[in-house]
Chains A and B, each alone.
Chain A
């Protein structure tokens, strides 16, 4: 079936980046304002789904040459590693650490280990969701 989807494809190319950047923003903003790793991950997933709708599986696979299964594993390891890291400092499992640092360019920035954990969540959500979509969509 041949479809006339020039408008969809053209706008998707722009909108994808807007959604993706927004998801990154929402991920970082999460600790103080609405957002976080879970929503961020879902938004990225949504962006990729949009790409899938406008193009097809193979094109998207070429454009984003990641192995999403491995991305899931990395995310899980990151989250677990952050949680487990605290035991090396003789505090209970899953104790977070945070402080303000003055960094060049950013000025005084608050850094929090929760962000690393959240990054793990982000990766797992994207990885697992896209893995599922790819396997169901790619099955014939």
Chain B
């Protein structure tokens, strides 16, 4: 089966959603949507067997073969892992949304169409082997994310957040496209597999580092790395199922996927390792530090997501070290990255769903108003507790395992001797440890401030109660995974993680079983990681207890000096600046625009004519001047003069008609009856039209023209006249190619079965022109009809705020 087509299954399904939403009232539309991810999830699990053996599956659909662009579904360990995450978490999120979004109040048709669009786009990103189609899907995820964040588009915050995420991620996407094109130039192919295979040949190319940085920009913006993370907290305006799905489990991991996918190409570079590890670690620290500042439940989770993405990013960077040194010490990192990626999807997904439940059942997400919900919402509390403790890195939850591996990898960086890491290596474990302390604090902060402490129900908008069972199914499943993975880490490792690691490090492994990493919870008292974890709990615990004393220091940083302030200032500046520049030349007067057009036309044409030395006059090719010609020319000039001097519109129009008629007479003199006939009739009809239109205009009077205005107009009018004359003379005097008229003469009867070349040109030789011209004419007619007859009823305001 051509499983590349399955990428498009969600989009195809999306076509039926609006119909189902409108026609079938009794059933929540989500139930129909749920079928898609479930079916895909089951189908993709069948590939695990292949990838566990180190194999891959390939399916291709040609798109633009001449440019080497095609849709390819390349399923190896990494792609399968992501595909399973997308469809698996997708199924849980859809299930959750069925209870979260009300059938009667929400525009479910829109919601599920966007969600399915996203699903297709995301599957395309992780399965594409062709970088151009990867880019296409990549931008499609940005667009669907934009639509989903702006789903409640009547809210200011939603629109702001949607636009912000779009600006940042599309900026990154465009940079990434540049990187892809450079890669295509260097490698001579758009296929990632072929690029990896040939990467050694272009590693020293002058574009190499540039391509690397550009692609990293794409990955960093998408995965909300410092300093681009600012869009993610604002994206929390989206409905919670979307936050759980796009903005924690899948879309923001597209950047991680990209880094992992391109590691075999770029790992050779020092810049890559420094940037990926360094920015990752900085993001980890920054995100965890500012998560504690937040008071909105979803904002805490957003910053925590930023921080966790940074953690995985730094692990991917550290994993690239194995390209240079083949030591067991470093082989941990890549395994830890993928393992933590899975763990993060499970615990963060469940936490987002709990935040949504709290919001849904109490009416607020403000942590200052919440408290003491534990006894009322016991199931939610349990899930939140499991998720948070896993996030904090405590046993017996899966986060503990990957956190230990993370610390171990950061400690190992000290022993890497290339690229100055020996000098700076000590920074990595220290920063990682501090960030982990803050991670512990916000995890505890999130769960305990919400569920324990004093009850403050009187301030809540709604009477709190436990969520309905259907809404709890998805978070409970995820929480069970959180605990389950802790006890069977090596099964998960064998099935999912090792094939993915093999896909990222093909230079090192040829079979997943060669990845010799064994996850265990207990390394003995001598292990440094254990004592680091103990330190995290102790220091973190102390800091949490004294939180109220130092949380206020966050307020010191003024909003205008933050990255958000920078973004706002840039946006305002560019909007106002562009506006100002536009207003410099956009006067709103057609007169001005015509001046630009005609001045530009005559200046460039005359300049080109003389720069290219194209001006030639060949007097011998001119026809003789006849008496009729001279008389006609005099009439023409008189008529033109009358147009200019006329005091009334009527006079001007009629003399314009006279100009047209005398041109028609020239056609008669030069024996072109078809042209003459057409010109005469056109002139008649257009004078009638002008009269109809102009009778509605006010009396001809001056419109504020000054003497200098008139002078400029005169010069430009003269310029256009001179230009046309020169071009006409030159083009008549020299022929670049032989005239086609002989061909017409030869074939008009034999090939076209006609006698009048002019008309045969119209209907046959150049029939396409005529076809499009009458299409344009018809459009113009309908356009006039639409503008005049069917004028839009003037609505009071089309402002979307109202």
A interface residues, Cβ below 8 angstroms from B? 26, 30-39, 42-43, 45-46, 49, 52-53, 69, 72-73, 75-76, 79-80, 83, 94, 96, 98, 110, 112, 114, 117-118, 120-121, 124-125, 127-129, 131-133, 135-139
Contacts and interface: CB of A to CB of B under 8 A. Distances in A.
Contacts of A133: 688-689, 692
A23 B681 CA distance: 11
A135 B763 contact: no
A136 B681 contact: no
Interface in B727-784: 752-756, 758-760, 762-764, 767-768, 770-771, 774-775, 777-778, 780-782, 784
A128 B777 contact: yes
A46 to B, nearest CB: 5
A60 B75 CA distance: 71
A94 B752 CA distance: 12
B778 A127 contact: yes
B562 interface: no
A139 B786 CA distance: 12
Interface stretch (B64-72, B607-615, B617-625, B670-678): B670-678
Given A34-B758, A114-B763, A133-B688, 7 more contacts: A31-B759, A35-B674, A98-B753, A118-B759, A128-B777, A128-B778, A131-B784
Identify which of A36, A94, A120 gathers the most chain B CB atoms within 10 Å of its CB. A36
A132 B768 contact: no
Contacts of A49: 684-685, 688
Closest 10 CB pairs of A and B: A128-B781, A32-B755, A98-B753, A36-B759, A42-B681, A124-B774, A34-B673, A131-B781, A114-B763, A31-B754
Nearest to A42: B681
A58 B498 CA distance: 83
7 contacts: A32-B755, A34-B674, A34-B756, A49-B685, A135-B784, A139-B696, A139-B788
A129 B778 CA distance: 9
Given A76-B775, A120-B774, A42 B692 contact: no
Contacts of A139: 696, 788-789
B569 interface: no
B462 interface: no
B784 A136 contact: yes
A35 B756 contact: yes
Contacts of B561: none
Contact of B778 (A34, A73, A96): A73
B756 A136 contact: no
B715 to A, nearest CB: 34
A133 B780 CA distance: 12
Contacts of B756: 30-36
Contact of B692 (A30, A43, A112, A137): A137
Interface string B682-714: 101100110011001000000000000000000
Interface string B43-75: 000000000000000000000000000000000
Nearest to B677: A39
A132 B780 contact: yes
| Interface size range on B against A | 35 or more
B538 interface: no
Contacts of B27: none
A128 B628 CA distance: 36
B785 interface: yes
B778 A46 contact: no
Contacts, number: 144
Majority SS at the chain A contact face: helix
Contacts of A127: 778, 781
Contact of B689 (A33, A72, A132): A132
Contact of B782 (A31, A45, A69): A69
B781 A132 contact: yes
Contacts of A83: 767, 771
Contacts of A32: 754-756
B697 to A, nearest CB: 12
Given A72-B778, A127-B778, A135-B785, A34 B677 contact: yes
Nearest to B749: A32
A94 B767 contact: yes
Contacts of A35: 674, 677, 756, 759
Nearest to A124: B774
Contacts of A128: 774, 777-778, 780-781
A131 B760 CA distance: 28
Nearest to B786: A135
Contacts of A125: 774, 777
Identify which of B678, B689, B692 gathers the most chain A CB atoms within 10 Å of its CB. B692
A38 to B, nearest CB: 7
Identify which of B685, B754, B782 gathers the most chain A CB atoms within 10 Å of its CB. B685
A83 B689 CA distance: 31
B771 to A, nearest CB: 6
A110 B753 contact: yes
B762 A72 contact: no
A124 B781 CA distance: 9
B689 to A, nearest CB: 6
Identify which of B681, B755, B762, B771 gathers the most chain A CB atoms within 10 Å of its CB. B681
Contacts of A80: 771
A100 to B, nearest CB: 9
Given A39-B674, A49-B684, A76-B775, A121 B770 contact: yes
A131 B684 contact: no
A69 B208 CA distance: 60
Contacts of B688: 49, 52-53, 133
B678 A42 contact: yes
B763 A121 contact: yes
A138 B789 CA distance: 9
Contacts of B760: 31, 114
Nearest to B787: A135
A37 to B, nearest CB: 7
B684 A46 contact: yes
B660 to A, nearest CB: 13
Nearest to A52: B688
A101 to B, nearest CB: 12
A79 to B, nearest CB: 6
A124 B778 CA distance: 6
Contacts of B682: 42
A38 B759 CA distance: 9
A61 to B, nearest CB: 14
A43 B771 CA distance: 20
Contacts of A42: 678, 681-682, 685
Contacts of B770: 38, 79, 117, 121
Contacts of B696: 139
B689 A136 contact: yes
A136 B691 CA distance: 10
